[in-house]
Chains A and B, each alone.
Chain A
Amino acid sequence: MQTMTQDLALAEAASLLRPPAQVMRLARLGCAHPTRLSFLRVLLRRVRREGWTFDRPLWQVDARGVGRAVYRARGPQRSYCLVAFAHDLPDEMRSDRVIATAWDATFALFDGEPSEADLARLAANVPLQEAGRITAAELTLSRANRSVRLFAHVVERLAAGQQPDAAELDSVGYLMRTTAVYGSGKFGAADRDRIAQRPELAAPFQAEMLTVWLIREFTFDIVEHLARARGGDRAVRLDPALRRRLGVGNSTGLGMAPFLVRHPNLLNNWIAARETALARVRALPSATPDAVAAFRRALGKACDNAAAWKSTHDLQLRKLADLRADLDRVTEWLKSWPGSVPYPWDALWQRAEAELTLEGQEALVSLLIEPHGPLVDNLAETMGADEEALARLDGSMSLDTVQALLEDSYRWALQIDFSEPENQARFWYVSAEKLEPRIGDRLAEAGAALEQPLCIARMACEFHAAIRDMPRDMTLAAFLLQHPQHRFMARRLQMVRAAPYAEIRDNLIAEDVLPIDMMRCKLAFFGASHFDPRSDKWVRISLFQGEPSPGDLDEESGS
């Protein structure tokens, strides 16, 4: 009986899915908020549920803060160790950019428990980052820089036997920020194919999230270590309540933006999971008192978070103003909600769609999902994707069908007039100097001939035009044999049939495109809070802020 009720609820939820035309607009994706399906939340739920244990088997750091440490995470079947190298970095060498050659700390996540020989090998390579090599025994490679001012403040206070100023902590939100966390085979690390079958690594970016969570512990340990080195017996440890207010920062440039375009199946699965979660909640005929209470708590936290969220960037300041005003409205609505209205969650959602800005609406997506763990958490298992397996072309498709598909799935693209200069004002390229993705001005800058294939809308138009005068019954395979330049788009077109949320439905080379919208979307799925653009192409965020430490989990399970 219960199963049947659930099935009915799921069927009903399917009709409540927001359509891709609404969801996949850049402006809306650029308002994404972390949810309980975000990857760091998925990790934290698993380690709690499975009773993972954590310790620090090695700490060899001198009074200057130079040395090495190992943080061990033991799961039910396997262990993983973060190997950390702490460095003494002169200020003039500190850069968040990919061109940097030295960092305050460097890390690798080791698959299992490293031997002394492994540690020696890693010591010769990990501090070099991109200029070193790791092996299939490592899952990630990363580095972090101090937030100089806050780090110094905390060391100074702790050394003097005092706690740091809470307002100072909140104004930055982290002691160190990572500037890259490489996984998936990069620089010799283990290929994802070889580890994706492990349940703990099946959801996206779990090795990266574990890395960052353990780096957070390192940032607390190193700051306390330096305070003790300076203050001796007077030094105190960081108050656990203050610790919890600190996450790990992350500084990210434009390179992250193309990821979503290059991984359409992954993007589809992320969005589909979130949208399915929202639809399941909206399909609930009633709201239990527990869920209502949890929703109010989540809203309260969201209001606090929005109040503490700082940015100096105009675009973000406007969005923050929208968000705060919208959260105030929702708070007001709750005075008379749920009342006796049927489908109360859906009623709330409908009202949000009618009255709130995109910021408020997308924040509400996250809030509605939050109290419904048992209903939605299994969706995390659907968020991974094997890009290769789905990428094979069906060459037997007729051009007639290809055209119909294009006119259906890419109508939004075919409506764009690419003879208008503003519709292709920009171009994406890779810089010869740093080999990093950048976006340029087509008229003002050279190099448009070397454009990267991120101009999906224009490629769809070109493909559409190319098949227009071809025989209707010609197969796609025969066409591509003559016109291989359309192969890339043909593959995407076929893939979108089974992946409705795969494509960002906006012109990514338009004059007014904002790459940070793509970054915000991706980072929200990671679980990033406090999205803080430094420009329209460069952002800082915080991960794990407000979340427990490994030690907190031990206490939870012990209490």
Chain B
Amino acid sequence: MILSDIKTAAQTHPADPIRLSCNETAALCFKAARGAGMAWGLAEEAAFATGWLCAHGIDGAGALLRHLDAVGDAGSGDLRPWPQPGYWRAGHKGILCPIRLGASLLDHAGSAQDPLAAAIRTDAVSMPVLLVPFLAEAGRRRGDTVQLSCRELVLALDKGPPDLPVLAALSRIPAAPLWLAPAAGTRPASAPDAPLPGVAPGTVAALEAYALRITVPATEASRRGAGTGSNDND
């Protein structure tokens, strides 16, 4: 519950990666995304995406941090997609938030206005690996596969297991335009069994710093309410 208290165990080196559970990853990223200015409902989407990546062995926490750091103080509205037929463009900043884009694509998935019913291209997406969980979920919902192309990488996403080496390569791309297209066929669903990714202690600390922005400094009244002053030696 209190991730700021995470310290490495006595016998591990302070710079060693931390094995955050998927639940910890999602909880930390939820708070950090909100701290960075995302609406609560989008922060939930950020938690979903990073938790999904964690379950597939990818450092989603690190990806979210790089996205938050890269877009800086850009308002949420500056990073929203502007859908056009076959083309989802960015606003004047020229870059799309992968969480907003992913949530919007998924909101429509399987409906009459499903943008993934035909191929679409997008303007540059910040940390495109964060879009993957939404596309996998869209594939599941549509009952087919969504193909993501980014530079030379191609990833088929559905309810089955993603190609982990390609996913790992995608996670190293800071921003790029994407090509998304439906593809026939789907593989059987599988439960993720990848080992947990290591998260750099600096990543955890930086996300915690974002999370701290939505906390409130204590007052005497709040400390009393929280139990200060009660005697537990009874």
Contact = CB atoms under 8 A, between A and B. Distances in A.
Given A431-B218, A445-B219, A91 B233 contact: yes
A488 B9 contact: no
Interface in A385-408: 388, 391-396
A254 B1 CA distance: 13
A534 interface: yes
A478 B4 CA distance: 37
B234 A430 contact: no
Contact of B24 (A185, A392, A436, A537): A185
B40 A453 contact: yes
B184 interface: no
Interface stretch (B59-67, B101-109, B154-162, B165-173): B101-109
Contacts of B112: 396
Interface in A124-146: 124-125, 128, 130-133, 135-136, 145
B176 interface: no
A254 B229 CA distance: 15
Nearest to A489: B41
Interface in B68-127: 76, 80-81, 83, 100, 103-104, 106-108, 110-113
B41 A436 contact: no
B218 A446 contact: no
Given A97-B228, A124-B11, A251-B232, A182 B1 contact: yes
Contacts of A283: none
A354 interface: no
A94 B233 CA distance: 7
Interface in A27-43: none
B23 interface: yes
B221 A396 contact: no
Nearest to B52: A388
A95 B231 CA distance: 8
B190 interface: no
Contacts of B222: 431, 438, 440, 445
B226 A392 contact: no
Interface string A185-204: 11111111100000000000
Q: Which of B12, B40, B51, B221 has its CB near the most chain A CB atoms (within 10 A)?
A: B40
A121 interface: yes
Contact of A481 (B4, B38, B80, B223): B80
A135 B195 CA distance: 12
B5 A133 contact: no
A358 to B, nearest CB: 25
Contacts of B10: 124-125, 128
Interface string A257-279: 00000000000000000000000
Contact of A255 (B1, B6, B113, B141): B1
Interface residues of A, number: 78
A48 to B, nearest CB: 31
B20 A484 contact: no
Interface residues of B, number: 65
B1 A121 contact: no
Contact of A429 (B80, B106, B215): B215
Contacts of B234: 147-149
B9 A121 contact: yes
A439 B225 contact: yes
B153 interface: no
Contacts of B20: 188
A63 B219 CA distance: 43
Contacts of B216: 429-432, 438, 440, 445-447, 450
A351 to B, nearest CB: 40
A137 to B, nearest CB: 11
A133 B18 contact: yes
A486 B107 contact: no
Contact of B23 (A185, A254, A395, A438): A185
Secondary structure at the A interface, as helix, strand, loop or mixed, is mixed
A125 B113 CA distance: 52
Interface in A158-215: 182, 184-193
Given A148-B233, A488-B44, A396 B108 contact: yes
Interface in A100-133: 121, 124-125, 128, 130-133
Nearest to A150: B234
A535 B55 contact: no
Contact of A145 (B5, B81, B232): B232
Contacts of A128: 7, 9-10
A383 interface: no
Given A91-B233, A94-B232, A395 B1 contact: no
B196 A136 contact: yes
Contacts of A453: 40
Contacts of A130: 1-2, 5
A58 interface: no
Contact of B39 (A187, A254, A485): A485
A96 B23 CA distance: 25
B111 A396 contact: yes
B42 interface: yes
Given A147-B234, A148-B234, A184-B23, A446 B217 contact: yes
Interface in A191-242: 191-193
B146 to A, nearest CB: 15
B175 interface: no
Q: Which of A391, A484, A485, A534 has its CB near the most chain B CB atoms (within 10 A)?
A: A484
A95 B227 CA distance: 10
Contact of A186 (B12, B19, B24, B103): B24
A131 B5 contact: yes
B212 A133 contact: no
Contacts of A189: 21
B221 A435 contact: no
A481 B113 CA distance: 14
Nearest to A147: B234
Contacts of A438: 216, 222, 225-226
Contacts of A476: 107
A290 interface: no
A487 B103 contact: yes
Contacts of B22: 185, 191, 193
Contacts of B42: 484, 487
In the complex, the 7 A-B pairs of residues with the closest C-beta atoms, listed nearest first: A487-B41, A395-B107, A185-B23, A447-B216, A185-B21, A396-B111, A477-B107
22 contacts: A94-B232, A94-B233, A97-B232, A125-B9, A185-B24, A431-B215, A431-B217, A431-B218, A431-B222, A433-B218, A438-B225, A438-B226, A447-B217, A453-B40, A477-B108, A480-B107, A481-B104, A484-B76, A487-B103, A491-B41, A535-B230, A537-B226
Given A184-B23, A395-B106, 6 more contacts: A395-B108, A396-B112, A431-B218, A441-B221, A486-B41, A490-B41
